Amino acid sequence: MSLGSAFQTLCGALFEDSMTLVCSAVVPESLTKKYRNRMISPRDPYSIYQLDSINSSYLLVFHFEDMPDCRTIQLTDMHNLNCTSHTGEEKNLYFGYSHRMCYNYTLDLTTELKHHCGARGYEENMQSGYYYTNHDPNPDIRSDVSGGSLLGSPTLVICLIVSLLLIALLHWKTSRL
């Protein structure tokens, strides 16, 4: 089972309903030292969302500083989420190369991040989805690029020229022997 499908299976409820913003902040250095989570660094932005239908389920979105602009979100698949801003504007956010983890038990890091950003009076977390984003502003460019687009790339042209020069050099050396 791939990590992506494991996240979708374990955190399936996060794909079924919308989530509302709880709070946002930046990760304090004390928590990165305490938990030694290699996916986050001090001062990384994070936002916490609570699942509307299950108050003990949370999604923590790391590394994307514009997430606080989303009042509510809805995961549509592993890479896309719909964002509704505080003004009611809707937009799709695409995170093509993100890393996701799901925890179906109480996580102290979630609790401490909630307290750090000022969330008080919320239900204890029984499920935490951690979404480490890598925002791609162009969702039309996907990781499953075909060979046709690679043929026109400047890198391939340079490699071809270098290869031809090496062949010519080897041919010249063998003809001198």
What is the pLDDT at residue 147?
45
Mean pLDDT, to the nearest integer, of 6-26?
95
What is the pLDDT at residue 153?
64
* Global pTM value: 0.75
- Cα separation, 136 vs 106, in Å, equals 31
* Average pLDDT of the chain to the nearest whole number: 87
- DSSP notation for 82-143: EEEETTS-EEEEE-TT-EEEEE-S--HHHHHHHHHTT--SPPPPSEEEEEE----S-TTS-S
Q: What share of the chain in percent tops pLDDT 70? A: 87
Per-residue pLDDT reduced to its tens digit, 57-106:
999 999 999 999 999 999 999 999 999 999 999 999 999 889 999 999 99
- Residue 175: band (very low, low, confident or very high) from pLDDT cuts 50, 70, 90: confident
What is the pLDDT at residue 165?
87
- Cβ contacts of residue 25 below 8 Å, gap of 6+? 45, 46, 113, 116, 117, 118
Per-residue pLDDT reduced to its tens digit, 48-61:
999 999 999 999 99
- Residue 21: band (very low, low, confident or very high) from pLDDT cuts 50, 70, 90: very high
- Cα separation, 175 vs 177, in Å, equals 6
* 3-state SS, residue 14: helix
What is the pLDDT at residue 119?
95
Domain map of the chain by residue range?
3-132, 147-176
Per-residue pLDDT reduced to its tens digit, 120-162:
999 999 999 999 998 655 545 444 444 444 455 677 778 788 8
